[in-house]
Structure 1
């Protein structure tokens, strides 16, 4: 039965967020618009992860390397969060499928852990073009299977990710269902990239407003990461998958970013599939503003909402099992 998604417009764009947007519009968008998608450029993408070492995790954060997966991973616990083998957030970082990793996202992931009061398994999946996107998705699905094999109940697991990682959170849930695994408690997408067809973004009112991402450049991303894939392939494009029986979803997006198109379309299709979805549109915020929470303080409020969502969906599952 179809249900209407809950759309929450979050007002308030502080001075820090406005400054961040202005700086991105002046320096970042022109660079992204002109940077060629060549093998050499993609090799340089790895430098971003090393630069991420400059983003120190908040004081009191604990990280433990995780072995036994086909890729690197770590457990992140924010300040005051105890080790808890019974529940977890499974997090996939963004970076256009080709960049970033554990270091770049550790500060934000630690904040999510603290907000939710539970450990986060942060996964550094293998990335295209070194591996096909099917391998990337398998790494994410295997991380979910790894948690289940260690006794974590599916109702105590929330899948989450930002940008490309938001795509992978949905893809992992869909592929886990195809593999016969139980569904997780919830999915949280932060500015998720979900549409392999750029036309809706190009036509969206936010295309000239986005200070970070020119919509047309996302076509280069798709050609690199999803070569030969039809835009409506249900196995690789969550927007066109059978979304029925997915768990409750939280989507956060900035009101001026071009991926608002993806968020709105996914919320609409989740509702049509009968999946509870809350879409939060944050005024004046840029793509994955949560990672810039030290400057855009609204990012901290959004992270608190992610934590509230994770606690809520896992509590509901526990109550049903009781």
Structure 2
């Protein structure tokens, strides 16, 4: 029996914490490059966040990052946004992933994340719905949550059972991974099999992040960017008289499924990953927290170039397969028959 305050349980489940030591020459080179390119750029953006920055360009650049060989994709239309359905090569198990991309709720999309998402789909043998949810500043975070829930409903409508669906995402998409699951359960939908969050933002309050030593160590995000993003989120959320968004770490977490959280040891959002794992533990929810030494934000996107990224994808896919393979239940080689794209 859990209490209402952060859903603390009488018998919390200990967090399974795994440390992955070492940083390859490739990962050190990537961190060095990001620290001298992306980090200064984000610091400049944070000085003038209200300028009409071309945030959509980031996703356009993603066209050059094609899917891994053998995967198939087609467009899907959800009620308020579009999505992309990625089918892995070969015989596909009747499991599915709902994927929510990162990008600070502000940029990135299907194109920028297609390669990583298709890599996860292929390695886990899970067809994957990559959702291009509505973003700030035009829309509040609650719109993105609604789009994620619509994606989950779409998977259920296609014949996938909840115990064969994993909700996953990176960075801001990690935030949405937990919030979409909470909202789906709140609406009376069946609980998914698991959550997977890569370098997730889980707490909209910037205080803990800025007080942590990683605020000066992160290779991607400068201090100033945290405050600027917080302001943009608050404006988008309160426009139209609505209240501010809540954070997953403050949710009633007892109904949540098991979770895998991966984070780099020097990331700005390391403290968010750690706090979320602690809150899940206190709510009695099994959680594995993987801490990868000196890896940059969403280093998994560089799988194929970084050995750590490749290994992290393997860990993710093993977790997904275990979470969706119910003991004693035969795994069909034929996935549910999908309806039209409209």
TM-score range, shorter chain: over 0.9
- 1:152-171 alpha-carbon deviations (Å, 9 max, x no partner): 11000000000000011101
Q: Which residue of 1 aligns with 2:202?
A: 194
Q: How much does 1:62 deviate?
A: 1.1
Match of 1:214 among 222, 232, 236: 222
Q: Assess if the C-alpha contact under 8 Å between 1:8 and 1:281 holds in 2.
A: yes
> Which stretch has the larger CA shift, 20-29 or 290-299?
290-299
Q: Which residue of 2 aligns with 1:55?
A: 65
Q: Assess if the C-alpha contact under 8 Å between 2:35 and 2:219 holds in 1.
A: yes
Alignment of structure 1 residues 142-181 onto 2, 5 Å: 142-181=150-189
Q: Assess if the C-alpha contact under 8 Å between 2:78 and 2:151 holds in 1.
A: no
Say yes or no: does 1:270 pair with 2:288. no
Distance in 2 (CA, whole Å) between partners of 1:317 and 1:121 is 25
Match of 1:227 among 231, 235, 249: 235
Q: Which residue of 2 aligns with 1:73?
A: 83
Match of 1:93 among 89, 101, 111: 101
Q: Which residue of 1 aligns with 2:339?
A: none
Q: How much does 1:209 deviate?
A: 1.1
> Normalising to structure 1: TM-score of the pair?
0.93
Q: How much does 1:151 deviate?
A: 2.0
Distance in 1 (CA, whole Å) between partners of 2:117 and 2:110 is 9
Q: Assess if the C-alpha contact under 8 Å between 1:256 and 1:284 holds in 2.
A: yes
Q: Assess if the C-alpha contact under 8 Å between 1:185 and 1:317 holds in 2.
A: no
Match of 1:182 among 183, 190, 196: 190
Match of 1:38 among 11, 26, 50: 50
Distance in 2 (CA, whole Å) between partners of 1:60 and 1:151 is 24
Say yes or no: does 1:313 pair with 2:339. no
> Which stretch has the larger CA shift, 157-166 or 131-140?
131-140
Q: Assess if the C-alpha contact under 8 Å between 2:88 and 2:127 holds in 1.
A: yes
Q: How much does 1:219 deviate?
A: 2.0
Secondary structure of the equivalent of 1:159? strand
Q: Assess if the C-alpha contact under 8 Å between 2:303 and 2:310 holds in 1.
A: yes
> Normalising to structure 2: TM-score of the pair?
0.87
Q: Assess if the C-alpha contact under 8 Å between 1:7 and 1:279 holds in 2.
A: yes
* Count of residues in Structure 1 that have an aligned counterpart in Structure 2: 314
Q: Which residue of 1 aligns with 2:308?
A: 298
Q: How much does 1:206 deviate?
A: 1.3
Say yes or no: does 1:64 pair with 2:74. yes
Q: How much does 1:81 deviate?
A: 5.3
Change (3 A) 1:199 1:10: same
Change (3 A) 1:224 1:317: farther
Match of 1:12 among 22, 31, 35: 22
Gaps of 5+ in 1: none
Q: CA RMSD in A?
A: 1.9
Change (3 A) 1:97 1:299: same
Q: How much does 1:114 deviate?
A: 1.4
Secondary structure of the equivalent of 2:215? coil
Gaps of 5+ in 2: 1-10, 331-342
Secondary structure of the equivalent of 2:289? strand
Q: Which residue of 1 aligns with 2:33?
A: 23
Q: How much does 1:39 deviate?
A: 4.6
Q: Which residue of 1 aligns with 2:5?
A: none
Q: How much does 1:21 deviate?
A: 0.4
Secondary structure of the equivalent of 1:227? helix
Runs of 4 or more off by more than 3 Å in structure 1? 78-82, 316-320
Q: How much does 1:79 deviate?
A: 3.6
Distance in 2 (CA, whole Å) between partners of 1:187 and 1:110 is 18
